Amino acid sequence: MIETIAGIGMSPVEILLLLGVAGLLSSRWCPPRARRPVAVAAAAVVALSGSVLAVRGLRWQMAPALGGVLVALAFAVPALAGRPTRRVPRWLALPGVVVCLGLVCASAAAAWAVPVPVFPEPSGPYAVGTAVTQWTDTSRPEPATAEPGDHRTVVVQVWYPAPRGTTGPRARYLGRTEREARTVARGLTGYIGVPAFLLDDAARARTAAVYDAPVAAGRFPIVLFSPGLGGVRTQNTAWAEELAARGYVVAALDHPYDSAAVVLDDGRTIHTRVVATGDDEEDRRLAIGWTAVRAADLSFVLTQLGRVDRGEIRGPLTGRLDTARAAAAGHSIGGGAALQAAHQDSRFAAVINLDGYPHDPAPRPYHQPVLALTHPVDPADNPSYIPRLTRVLSLSTSESYQITVPGTAHLTFADAPLYLPPVPFVVGSLGRTGGLSVTTAATAAFLDATLRDEPGDLATILRPYGELTVHRPAPARVPRTR
């Protein structure tokens, strides 16, 4: 794995390659006596750095720079051959220089725009462990297939507090193995319709967690997480790791036939069947069904975690899970699923909705407090989103909070800003980690108040993160007496 410099997106070896290309290019304009030494030194730098990159893994971002090497050699070959008096004609040199510099800049720009994601070191008092498991709900047929005996199966990844000082190989970002990570990366790029190589670096990335690390002593509240439409269980890894370091167990789900690609224990890969039809009414109907399946998945996983805690399913988290303090959370349609799960399952004590539209066709009053983070929504683009969300939040018999976070876009609330181009309408304008900082701080404060009963005025704590609306339950009506 190539370690890159944060903010630049390139490793020192890649920077050396670009400098070597520039050196080859500049040799033409050096004084006669200096041309050959400069060309030889630059060629050595290019050869050495190129060899190291070939061994450690040449990233697609460096492909333009390799093209620049070929152009630059045209300027350097005479000097390298010991004929310093012969130079490329001036009429050919200028366009050649422009092309070469353009290729070098293209590599630098690509590396900056689509970097290897660098996951922040969690700030909490715990190290972070992670593990992946697969569970089948024998009480539910798989709704996406007509095969008899095919029951609903989900893949769950947990991030949990580990003892401080825990060390070990860092977990891969998109999968347990390199093969799984690349399969998931191809599934995601295929789902969104972009070239597969754009997520090569994400497939190579390592996170802050350690696979199968020991569990810290204590009992920890639980946060269940459902990703966005077509999203995968790891899409909010940085957020999950930060919460785990603060003493929470985060369990994120892959929803087969919805998530872009789910690799099962038997090696099968299940690709998404979620496809928009282009008919708004039909897509709303489909979204209601997808959300209902996800909500049932969240309740099922909470049940399984209870069995893990009691030792009915053996694992390192036995006796470590406080299932009486569990929150349902999700991003996009996963946020809508978290709301619906809370309506249907009173075991959830709180809800976190990260920019999700509520698709429940008949929302009912519920008892859990909700934190909803949204990006600034133009009513002309989506006239029903905020009114619908406001209505659902108002049904809670507990105090709920809606924060419109300035500078965010829909993907700001996931890991996407760590590795996608910093285009504001795609990932917002808060930088690579600004959205993560806001999302983590706001959700951690909400969880501390609702699951741990920590004192403090939550509205005051949440107000700095954006435009805050507090939804307070309506006072109960007292019957009039005559």
> Two tokens at 212?
């199968």
Pairwise CA distance, residues 240 & 126, whole Å = 13
The per-residue pLDDT for range 369-412, each reduced to its tens digit, is: 999 999 999 998 889 999 999 999 999 999 999 999 999 999 99
Tokens of 203: 């497939």
Give the tens place of pLDDT for each residue, 227-248.
Answer: 999 999 999 999 999 999 999 9
- Residue 77: is its pLDDT beyond 90? no
Second-level CATH architecture of 127-471: 3-Layer(aba) Sandwich (3.40)
Cβ burial, residue 399 (10 Å; 0-12/13-18/19+): middle
d(CA 269, CA 259): 11
- The CA–CA distances, whole Å, from 284 to 333, 334, 353, 403 equal 11, 15, 19, 25
User: Using CB atoms within 10 A of its CB, is residue 387 exposed (0-12), middle (13-18) or buried (19+)?
Assistant: exposed
Q: Report the range out of 45-49, 113-117, 295-299 with the highest average pLDDT.
A: 295-299
CA angle 459, 235, 170 (to 5 degrees): 110
Integer Cα distance of 268 and 183 in angstroms: 11
Determine the residue type at 252. Answer: A
**Could you tell me the residue ranges of all domains in the chain?**
12-113, 127-471
- At residue 31 the predicted structure's pLDDT band, cuts being 50, 70 and 90, is confident
- CA pair distance 287, 283, nearest whole angstrom: 6
Element (H, E) at 342: helix 333-344
Q: Choose the weakest-confidence range: 93-102, 104-113, 289-298, 452-461.
A: 93-102
Q: pLDDT value at position 85?
A: 45
What is the side-by-side strand order in the sheet with 249-254? Answer: 170-172, 206-211, 127-141, 151-162, 249-254, 220-226, 321-331, 350-354, 370-374, 400-404, 467-471
| pLDDT recorded at residue 429 | 96
| Residue 100, pLDDT score | 83
